[in-house]
Amino acid sequence: MNNIHPIFDKLLTKSDKELFLNQRGIVLWFTGLSGSGKSTIAEGLEKLLFSKGYFVQVLDGDNTRTGINKNLGFSIKDREENIRRVAEISKLFIDSGVICINSFVSPTIEIRQKAKDIIGSENFIEVFVNTPLEVCEARDVKGLYKKARAGEIKGFTGIDSPFESPLKADVELLTANQTVEESIHDVFNKVIKRLSL
Ligand code: ADP
């Protein structure tokens, strides 16, 4: 083991891993209504960053609610636990130097603050995907608004459960008058400095 670089003699830190990956381990926390564009932009941003040599992980309802959080529903208590676990998981990713893009409705200021407290404010970039309810409802990507309006889904954010907009998000994306590509480049340009060493 003598020929190993001295850096490996001690426990590796976040900075060691950031140096190795040549990037900052940080969380981009996307919040916004269902259908606002969080997942579409998160996936596009992941590909764009990856093509430029950044190492990124996207966390969303699809890859967390089907696995680690599959025992949770949409009550306030379960939404809080959902976000708490996601925040703890992202913390592990960023401690490994990975850029974590989290795409969650995370509807209240309090719930997002809890995530920020777990992750650490210096590692947390809040991205508000600000799309008016009417636009989200007209898109109705998954047909969920129609079901919520028909009373088939209870407690749907924006319909019969509140969404509190961030008071001062680090980044705000107004997707209603942008193409998907424009939104992806918009967020890229606004965050890229903070992802780089
Ligand atoms: P969310 O993850 O917030 O629930 P999705 O990304 O699943 O939302 O859905 C957003 C829908 O809006 C997609 O069908 C997407 O193609 C469409 N869309 C239209 N314009 C934009 C834009 N500028 N940014 C993101 N999505 C957009």
Domains for the chain: give ranges and CATH numbers. 13-195 (3.40.50.300)
Closest by CA position to 194, among listed 128, 116, 124: 124
Residue 37 Cα to ligand 1 middle (Å)? 3
Res 4: pLDDT:
63
Among 190, 158, 155, 194, which Cα is nearest to 174's?
190
Query: Can you tell me the distance from the alpha carbon of 94 to that of 91, in angstroms, rounded to the nearest whole number?
Result: 5
Q: What is the pTM of this model?
A: 0.93
How high is the pLDDT of residue 2?
A: 54
* pLDDT value at residue 74: 84
Which residues of the chain fall short of a pLDDT of 50?
none
Instruction: Please name the residues in contact with 59: beta carbons below 8 A apart, sequence gap of 6 or more.
Output: 86, 89, 90, 100, 101, 102, 103, 104
Of the residues 139, 153, 159, 187, which should be mutated to test ligand 1's pocket, given the most ligand atoms within 8 Å of the CB?
139
Ligand 1 closest atom vs CA 41: 25
Known active-site residue 106: yes
pLDDT at 76: 83
Q: Which is the catalytic residue, given 36, 90, 106, 183?
A: 106
Amino acid occupying residue 4 = I
The pLDDT of residue 109: 96
Number of residues that this document lists for the chain: 197
pLDDT of residue 75: 85
